[in-house]
């Protein structure tokens, strides 16, 4: 049987959710493995671009902003939604200035209020006083993203505490798919579609049963280049916590039989989300979502609890620096603007990161890579001049997949080698903060790898 590419993708998505062995083979939907021999998984072009962006901004904004809640119950009047000076360009300008490459908006949160005029419910901006009921926040958001060179993404909560069809499973699935269709056909290219795992009862007390293969298939048909996020992918997985910490071991490969659907629970599920699976059969890198404030939505009472510059830089190290991507939430206020305190921390983070990574002390030095076994290798970097080193930046070329499973870093100031760090996975990027010391040579020893390790790129910085 020959499948055309689209059919292949559809089958792969459907099969992946079921988790049969054939499914797992098919679930590597990427172009890299399309037509290739059975090999370890590799990222698709979309997954690769997604990871290279490193930073995305999450925008939680909606009914909860006006009721001062985190989870609305769906009984809120649309008349409460009335930002006085909403300017999505201010969000996008800030994101861009702070070095973010993408932005994801909560088009609908659990309370069911839709930020775009939808035919599926009157519970939307169309029934609000904002812009005289003629507003479309999804439109303003995507336009602002594009104007600032950011990739737009959308969060559409499956859990809907307002819609009367919720819990009447077949009927609500049609509604949900219709909402996805509006969002994915009216606004041009959407780069990430975000499905969260929260799933409670509807207004009628009934519990909804989802059909993920159907929803993922619909997204794939309408936006084939988008990556889909959920606990279970299919393209990008949740990192398993909202503290901003990827696993110190973090494989971008997972076993799709462990996390089968958004919202599944259990110790093994959490471990797989956090660390990935060394022998995983699909490429599903982890996304680290965390808020700049205690809550996801803006609450004036938390204005003095915005993360500091130091805190944001640490988040960068514990997410991007552990083979993940950071999705940092920055919630606009009731005015419809990002708060000055948040903007100051973001710009401070950018300035600090730029300074930390301004000068690679290894640039112009000599690097010698040699294979030392089927699953081992060694890299010695001679700095052009001895220098104080406090950060080591390691990168595998993940277009070829992820290979390193255990490594050691040694430093020499001209005399004996001293071990300065040990770790497990590297992946797209591994940042090691080490005790600052005078260094002439650095040695990376790959002690274990899942295949013959490819060259690992090493750079080093003074740190602080």
Q: Which is nearer to ligand FUL, 182 or 289 (CB)?
A: 289
Q: Which is nearer to ligand FUL, 159 or 251 (CB)?
A: 159
Q: Which is nearer to ligand FUL, 333 or 445 (CB)?
A: 333
Residue at shortest CB range from ligand FUL: 196
Minimal distance in Å, beta carbon 347 to ligand FUL?
24
Minimal distance in Å, beta carbon 450 to ligand FUL?
32
CB-based burial label for 94 (10 Å; 0-12, 13-18, 19+): buried
Q: Which is nearer to ligand FUL, 104 or 349 (CB)?
A: 104
Q: Which is nearer to ligand FUL, 44 or 162 (CB)?
A: 162
Minimal distance in Å, beta carbon 103 to ligand FUL?
14
The per-residue DSSP string of 302-353 comes to GTT-PPPHHHHHHHHHHTTTBT-EEEEE----TTSS--HHHHHHHHHHHHHH
Minimal distance in Å, beta carbon 42 to ligand FUL?
28
Instruction: Please count the other Cβ atoms lying within 10 Å of the Cβ belonging to residue 370.
Output: 9
Continuous segment of H or E residues that includes residue 448: strand 430-449
Q: Which residues of 24-49 are buried (b: 16+ CB within 10 A; e: fewer)?
A: bebbbbbebbeeeeeebbbbbebbbb
Which phi-psi region, left, alpha or beta, contains residue 121 (left: φ > 0; alpha: ψ -120 to 50)?
beta
Residues 16-75 that bind ligand FUL (CB under 6 A): 70
Q: Which is nearer to ligand FUL, 196 or 378 (CB)?
A: 196
Minimal distance in Å, beta carbon 378 to ligand FUL?
42
Which phi-psi region, left, alpha or beta, contains residue 445 (left: φ > 0; alpha: ψ -120 to 50)?
beta
Continuous segment of H or E residues that includes residue 389: strand 376-396
Q: Which is nearer to ligand FUL, 43 or 202 (CB)?
A: 202
What are 152's strand-pairing partners? 103
Residues 262-291 that bind ligand FUL (CB under 6 A): 289
Q: Which is nearer to ligand FUL, 201 or 397 (CB)?
A: 201
**3-state DSSP assignment of residue 249:** coil
Sign of dihedral through CA atoms 245, 250, 256, 257?
negative
Q: Which is nearer to ligand FUL, 196 or 432 (CB)?
A: 196
Residues 181-210 that bind ligand FUL (CB under 6 A): 196-198
Minimal distance in Å, beta carbon 295 to ligand FUL?
9
Minimal distance in Å, beta carbon 68 to ligand FUL?
14
Binding mask 296-315 for ligand FUL (x = CB under 6 A): x-------------------
**How many of the chain's residues bind ligand FUL (CB under 6 A)?**
6
**CB of 9 within 8 A of CB of 218?**
no
Q: 212-222 vs 169-185: helix axis angle to the nearest 10? A: 20
Minimal distance in Å, beta carbon 192 to ligand FUL?
13
**CB of 206 within 8 A of CB of 212?**
no
Minimal distance in Å, beta carbon 198 to ligand FUL?
4
The reply to whether 111 sits near ligand FUL by the rule CB under 6 A is: no
**CB of 217 within 8 A of CB of 259?**
no
Binding mask 66-85 for ligand FUL (x = CB under 6 A): ----x---------------
Residues 337-376 that bind ligand FUL (CB under 6 A): none
Positions touching ligand FUL (CB under 6 A) are: 70, 196-198, 289, 296
């Amino acid at each position: 049987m020959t499948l055309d590419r689209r059919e292949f993708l559809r089958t792969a998505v459907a099969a992946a959710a079921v988790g049969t062995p054939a499914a797992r083979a098919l679930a590597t939907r990427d172009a890299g493995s399309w037509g290739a021999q059975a090999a370890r998984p590799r990222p698709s072009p979309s997954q690769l671009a997604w990871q290279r962006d490193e930073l995305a901004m999450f925008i939680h904004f909606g009914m909860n902003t006006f009721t001062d809640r985190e989870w609305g119950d769906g009984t809120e009047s649309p008349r409460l939604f009335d930002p006085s000076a909403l300017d999505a360009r201010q969000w996008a300008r800030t994101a861009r200035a702070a070095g973010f490459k993408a932005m994801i908006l909560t088009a609908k949160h659990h309370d069911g209020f839709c930020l775009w005029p939808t035919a599926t419910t009157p519970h939307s901006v169309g029934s609000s006083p904002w812009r005289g009921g003629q507003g479309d926040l999804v439109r303003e958001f995507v336009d602002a993203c594009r104007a600032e060179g950011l990739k737009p993404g959308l969060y559409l909560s499956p859990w809907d505490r307002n819609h009367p069809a919720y819990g009447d499973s077949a009927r609500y699935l049609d509604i949900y798919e219709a909402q996805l269709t509006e969002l994915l056909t009216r606004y041009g290219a959407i780069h990430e579609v975000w499905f969260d795992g929260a799933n409670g009862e509807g207004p009628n007390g009934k519990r909804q049963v989802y059909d993920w293969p159907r929803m993922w298939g619909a997204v794939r048909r309408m936006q084939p280049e988008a990556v889909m996020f959920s606990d279970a992918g299919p393209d990008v997985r949740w990192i398993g916590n909202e503290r901003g910490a990827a696993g110190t071991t973090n494989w971008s490969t997972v076993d799709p039989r462990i996390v089968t659907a958004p919202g599944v629970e259990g110790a093994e599920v959490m471990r797989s989300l956090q660390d990935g699976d060394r022998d995983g059969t699909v490429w599903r890198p982890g996304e680290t979502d965390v808020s700049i404030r205690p809550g996801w939505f803006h609450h004036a009472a938390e204005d003095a609890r915005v993360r500091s510059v130091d805190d944001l830089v640490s988040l960068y190290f514990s997410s991007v620096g552990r083979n993940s991507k950071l999705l940092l939430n920055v919630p606009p206020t009731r005015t419809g603007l990002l708060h000055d305190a948040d903007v100051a921390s973001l710009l401070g983070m950018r300035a600090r990161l730029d300074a930390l990574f301004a000068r690679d002390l290894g640039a112009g030095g000599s690097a010698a890579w040699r294979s030392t076994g089927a699953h081992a290798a060694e890299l010695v970097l001679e700095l052009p001049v001895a220098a104080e080193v406090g950060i080591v930046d390691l990168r595998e070329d993940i277009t070829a997949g992820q290979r390193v499973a255990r490594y050691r870093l040694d430093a020499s100031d001209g005399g004996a080698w001293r071990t300065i760090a040990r770790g497990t996975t590297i992946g797209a990027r591994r940042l090691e903060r080490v005790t600052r010391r005078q260094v002439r040579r650095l040695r990376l020893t790959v002690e274990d790898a899942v295949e013959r390790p490819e060259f690992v790129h090493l750079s080093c910085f003074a740190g602080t």
